[in-house]
Structure 1
Amino acid sequence: MNHDTTLFIGLDTHKSFTQVALLKDNRGETPISYGRIDTSKSALIKLAQKIQSQFPKATLHFIYEAGPCGYWIYRLLTSLSYHCYIVAPSLIPKKPGDRVKTDKRDAAKLARLFRADELSTIYVPEAEDEAIRDLSRARETAMKDLKDAKLQLKGFFLRNNINTVVKDNWSKKHLRWLTELVLPHHSQQIVLQEMIQIISERMQRLQRLDNELIHQVKNWRYYPVVKSIQAMRGIRLLVALGTIAELGDLRRFDHPRKLMSYLGLVPSESSSGQKRRQGSITKCGNSRARRLLIEGAHSYKHKANISSELQIRQEGLSKEIIDIAWQAQLRLCRRYQRLMFLGKHRSVVVTAIAREMVAFIWAITREVGIQPIDPRQRIARLPS
């Protein structure tokens, strides 16, 4: 019997170094510390080639935790035809009495738990998908920075008893009024001019990111999905783009309930015996996608209707997708009114609507074809 058919290599990765542990797929085997290497492309390639030369008939399985260093290690090892997996740190089992934590122990623990099938692997987006996600998140950060700057200016006005005479806030007329405003002290005038300049710069930054996002999404392989889910009420371009950029390929979920659970929109539960206790939603998974869906769920408080804007978004889509969107609107608008009539809190109602929106988004995604990534392109785009 060949005892070297499978090798599990645990990698405890850090910014500058990586601790390595090796475990054979034999009963009674214990992890072996394989030393420390630099966290670099050349060092990882050399490590894989060295282990493969020592065990030429073995299949190598690399495991490491998801972290701030990204997915480049996964993409590098998979491009070399090795098996690589990234596990969720929050789902790694931990013994209550285990109070000793070292890099060697962590690497060995990863290899041992993965061999025992006790770890949950995460979905790794393609490099092109991650680039769109970074652009979408940069746009959200720019929006938050602009909002913070506006709030600081409003707070400055409140402290100094300055009332805005222009009702249309942050319009061109309002910005002109800000530049013409004269304060009693020179120091305060300097503060006002700096705040106005910051707001103007951040508005321009947001506009640049919006334009780039709209341009890039049209060349994205998930653009048919982004365009299709806009057939639903409450999901415009930025919401659709942000949701798909965060979630990636929804076809990996074989049932919409798994997608709901992935987004943390299902109620938590603590049941034992004859008692069943359900609490608030779990809030696990991607918080940004969950927030975008909850924002879109607010639009279902009105009666079902196809507005002119929604009709424009549905142009060019198949009849199956439009039918799913209309069925979603009929059900969700009716459910929103029924839950409000029963006296549920508005936040509870909106969360319930967002959870059901996920199922219709999943159904629309199944109707859309997605162009796969060429493996040769994936290898060519690896970082040097």
Structure 2
Amino acid sequence: GQNIYIGIDAHLKNWTVTVMTENSLTKTISQNPDAGTLYTYLQRTFPGGNYLSAYEAGFCGFSAHRNLEKYGIKSIVVNPADIPTTDKERKQKEDRRDSRKIARSLKNGELTGIHVPDKETEELRSLVRYRKTLVKEISRHKSRIKSHLHCFGIAIPGPLAQASTYWSGKFTQWLEEVQQSTPYGGMVLQSTLATVKHLRAELLKINRKLRELEKEVMYGFKIKLLRSIPGIGLIVAVTLLSELETILRFKNLDKLCSFVGLVPRTNTSGENDKTGKITSRSNKPLRGIIIEAAWIASRNDPALAQCYLELCKRMKPNKAIIKIAKKLLNRIRYVMKNEKEYVHSVVQ
């Protein structure tokens, strides 16, 4: 049958769907957010067609994609920023207009789907990202406690004020014993402290669950390989495995660096060729953790340490570390692709 192009603007309570045929027949409908309902409509209105659909990556994740595929509707999930958009569509945003835009771009062959991970990898990714959220929340609540102490002029005792003893058992015990002139201030302090304790307990549970991955057949060997690289510990290794899933989907190092977001902005026009700052387009969880790992690797790997010192002679440290991060990514790619442990370089 002929190709039927389906653009879906997905929302919590409804889908706005635009259907286009090869001869430009266009229909736009609003329906329940259900792949089965859409399939029934397509079978009734466009029987025997080859159904091709696309929707923007967003809150519904990849569940809609899997449901569409289950009904034989070939689906891709696209980055919203990669959909060609006119100035009018940008300034007059509507669900119907958005779904027509997706269907039109799909029909014109202008859309490239993002990688869809398997369900196990997606769930592991959600746990790793939730862990990062917990770490941020703990840091935020700790800052609130310190701000509260400063606000009311409560000085931290000398031995506990050192960075090495911050948030130790003794420091937490001292916070529990802090007395304020009224119960109101004390309630704020103790309530925030209780939240920190709860979040730290949840973080400990997640860390234990992630450590169990080292014993699993599917992840244990890969984690061992990655941890052989300087700068990479358990959390970095698990983040890499959950965000990348397989290194084989990247044809070369440039593709991997582009995905992570370690490439500059470029502006080439005529004889002008400009290279700007690092691009904002990135996998944010991965880029942040790779740069953190690069700082550690630049101190522990002799070859990377020497390279970093040479780079710092002609550029700022923050720029030099991006180049080290690229070299670290190259090591990660080699180890994962060849399934061989990293061998430390020896500087003569």
Instruction: Tell me the TM-score normalised to structure 1 length.
Output: 0.80
Using the TM superposition, give the Cα deviation of residue 227 of structure 1 relative to its aligned residue in structure 2, in angstroms.
Answer: 2.8
| Aligned mate of 1:145, from 97, 118, 137 | 137
- Identify the residue that residue 308 of structure 2 maps to in structure 1: 336
| Shift, 1:267, TM fit | 0.9
Deviation at 1:288, TM superposition (A): 0.9
Q: Of the candidates 237, 240, 249, which is equivalent to residue 237 of structure 2?
A: 240
1:123 is paired with a residue whose SS is: coil
Alpha-carbon spacing, 1:59–1:193, altered in 2? closer, same or farther (3 Å) = same
Instruction: Name the structure 1 match of 2:50.
Output: 59
Q: Determine the structure 2 residue equivalent to 1:119.
A: 111
- Counterpart for residue 136 of structure 1: 128
Distance 2:283 2:219 in 1: 19
Residue identity matched to 1:338: E
Higher relative contact order (Cα pairs below 8 Å, separated by 6+ residues): 1
**Which of these residues, 141, 147, 151, is aligned with residue 155 of structure 1?**
147
Tell me the distance in 1 between the aligned counterparts of 2:11 and 2:217: 32
Equivalent position of 1:109 in the other structure? 101
Distance 2:98 2:196 in 1: 47
Cα distance, 1:341–1:185 mapped onto 2, change above 3 Å: same
Partners of 1:122 and 1:47 lie apart in 2 by 22
Contact residue 263 and residue 283 of structure 1 kept, 8 A: no
Aligned to 2:337: 366
The root-mean-square deviation of aligned C-alpha atoms, in Å, is 2.2
Give 1:222 shift. 4.3
Following superposition, the deviation at residue 207 of structure 1 comes to: 0.9
Is 2:272 aligned against 1:281?
A: no
**In structure 2, distance between residues paired with 1:70 and 1:358:** 27
Q: Distance in 2 between matches of 1:137 and 1:169?
A: 26
Residues 1:176 and 2:173 aligned together: yes
Is contact 2:230–2:301 with CA below 8 Å preserved after alignment? no
- Tell me, what secondary structure is at the counterpart of 1:277? strand
Structure 1: how far apart are the matches of 2:182 and 2:24?
A: 74
Q: Which amino acid aligns with 2:33?
A: T
- Once the two structures are superposed, residues 212-248 of structure 1 have per-residue CA deviations (whole angstroms, 9 ceiling, x without a partner) of 2223564473443333211111110011112321232
Deviation at 1:109, TM superposition (A): 2.0
45, 49, 59: which one aligns with 1:68: 59
| Identity value in percent | 27
Superposed, which structure 2 residues align to 1:311-330 within 5 Å? 330=303
Whether contact under 8 Å (1:294, 1:351) holds in the other structure is yes
- Distance in 2, matches of 1:53 and 1:220, equals 47
Q: Aligned partners of 2:172, 2:154: CA distance in 1, in Å?
A: 18
Residues 265-280 of structure 1 aligned to structure 2 (within 5 Å): 265-280=262-277
Instruction: Give the alignment partner of residue 69 of structure 2, picking from 62, 66, 78.
Output: 78
- The count of residues paired between Structure 1 and Structure 2 equals 334
Residue 78 of structure 1 deviates from its aligned partner by 1.6
In the alignment, the residues of structure 2 paired with residue 120 and residue 356 of structure 1 have an alpha-carbon distance, to the nearest angstrom, of 28
User: Which amino acid in 2 is paired with 1:354?
Assistant: A
Q: 1:249-270: per-residue Cα shift (whole Å, max 9, x none)?
A: 2211111101101122101111
User: Does residue 1 of structure 2 align to residue 8 of structure 1?
Assistant: no
Deviation (angstroms), 1:283: 2.5
Asked if structure 2 preserves the Cα contact closer than 8 Å seen for 1:266 and 1:355, the reply is no
Aligned partners of 1:39, 1:303: CA distance in 2, in Å? Answer: 52
Quote how far apart the aligned CAs of 1:360 are.
Answer: 1.8
Q: What is aligned with 1:356?
A: 327
Native 8 Å contact 1:10 1:110 kept in 2? yes
> SS at the partner of 2:110?
coil
CA distance in 1, matches of 2:106, 2:157: 61
